[in-house]
Amino acid sequence: MDNRCRICDGMVKGAVDLGMQPRANAFPLPGETSDEFFFRLTVGMCDSCTMVQLLEDIPQEVRYHDGYPYHASGSAGHRRHFEGIAETFLEAELTGRDPFIAEIGSNDGVMLAKIAEAGVRHLGVEPSREVAELSMSRGVQVLPEFFDESTAERICAEHGHADVVFGANAIAHISHLASVLRGVERLLARDGVFVFEEPYLGSVVAQTAFDMLYDEHSFVFSVRAIQAAAERFGLELVRVEHVPLHGGSMRYTLARPGQRPVSPAVHEWRGLEDAGRLAEHATLEDFGRRARRIGDDLAGLLGDLRAKGHRVVGYGAPAKAATVTNYCGIGPDVVPFVCDSTPSKQGRVIAGTHIPVKSPKAFSDDYPDYALLFAWNHAEEIMAKERKFSERGGRWILYVPEVHIV
């Protein structure tokens, strides 16, 4: 399957096929599963700019609806992370006479709330009304729209240029990335910075984290691809920093050419990517083969445990749970339910496979023999919270970077 790159119009060749998949964050009610949306989840790499992307473009209105269930502040670790980012901006970038920061995909305001508390001018751009309203209740100013070039023009006219434009786990979700980058270039102050962090292609590939691929992840960024995209739209990649979120993310800092020194880390990471052949189709194709092996191993393990009479339930219902359960054919006959602490997901089902989502109380009320940890990137936090499960002989099943039992 071939397609055109959304950044440079080069040819994108498919390399990873995870079959038919639903909207990962749909979480329908049990009685509302008859008309679910499915698409072919195929991921490829551009022959020209090396950007890794979905071949099929899912309309943003389909993906980000008013009842969008993901809350960035749902994890204590995430709250600390984003509050730390806000403090860094306040100390290093928002120090002028009347600074202004805009956040693309501000979600429930976990980062901007701290900015608002400091009395700094700000604006979150968040199209999903439920989380936008939660953000507003925290004192955050929000524009409930999608960010693109025209939105940036209006923000600039009303608020002026931004000293900082920020995005976390949002920029790689936007299929019209070219318009976003044009908008950022328009909105950014002369010496301003565009800072964003997203799951890093190198980490996804190294860990065979195939469940990080789903409808919302239109792109999976690498340093090389972001450097090329920045140059194409009048910006320059000046800093990169690897951060542990989501199993390994990269924080990118873009600025206007010549306004900021380029960190040695940019060249170092480019060198690591070249040495690891991250920009080669063969690497992505090998990733696809390893994903198939993990899928087979996981399905086989669960089948064996079921045959032996062991009870397995799921723990955590992140979006990626939809990818792995649909890809591996894991349904409620194998995993009767998944527990998750997000109230808006409870009482619903994982899209496609229709595994019920319950509160964590269902887990502790009757501990299973095994817990399949879909939220593997929060393993340390979850296992510490559920220490009694392990003390009573419970075992954790993980599938990243390979299927194993803890």
Separation between Cα atoms, residue 200 and residue 211, nearest integer Å = 13
| pLDDT for the residue 63 | 58
Separation between Cα atoms, residue 256 and residue 188, nearest integer Å = 8
| pLDDT for the residue 79 | 84
Listed in sequence order, the DSSP H helices in 95-145 are 112-117, 129-137
Domain that holds residue 317: 283-405
Residue carrying structure tokens 């998750």? 340
Residue 71 lies in a domain: no
| pLDDT for the residue 78 | 77
CATH number for the domain that contains residue 381 = 3.40.50.720
Residue 322 lies in a domain: yes
Residue 371 lies in a domain: yes
Residue carrying structure tokens 């943003």? 60
Separation between Cα atoms, residue 174 and residue 179, nearest integer Å = 9
| pLDDT for the residue 125 | 96
CA-to-CA dists, residue 292 to 42, 243, 248, 280, 359, angstroms: 13, 27, 21, 19, 31
| pLDDT for the residue 70 | 54
Count: domains in the chain = 1
Hey, what are 241's tokens? 């920093």
| pLDDT for the residue 241 | 97
Hey, what are 220's tokens? 């999976």
| C-alpha dihedral sign at 312, 317, 321, 322 | positive
Residue 153 lies in a domain: no
Categorise residue 248: left if φ over 0, alpha if ψ from -120 to 50, beta otherwise.
Answer: left
Residue 386 lies in a domain: yes
Residue 52 lies in a domain: no
Contact call for residues 387 and 330 (beta carbons, < 8 A): no
For the stretch 98-123, pLDDT in tens is 999 999 999 889 999 999 999 999 99
10-residue block means of pLDDT along the chain (406 residues)? 86 96 95 93 97 89 56 70 95 96 93 96 92 90 95 97 96 95 98 97 97 96 98 98 89 98 98 98 97 98 97 97 98 97 94 97 96 95 95 97 97
Separation between Cα atoms, residue 384 and residue 215, nearest integer Å = 31
* All residues at 6 or more sequence positions from 293 whose CB lies less than 8 Å from its CB, including other chains: none
| pLDDT for the residue 69 | 54
Residue 164 lies in a domain: no
Q: Helix (H, G, I), strand (E, B), or coil: what is residue 38?
A: strand
Residue 342 lies in a domain: yes
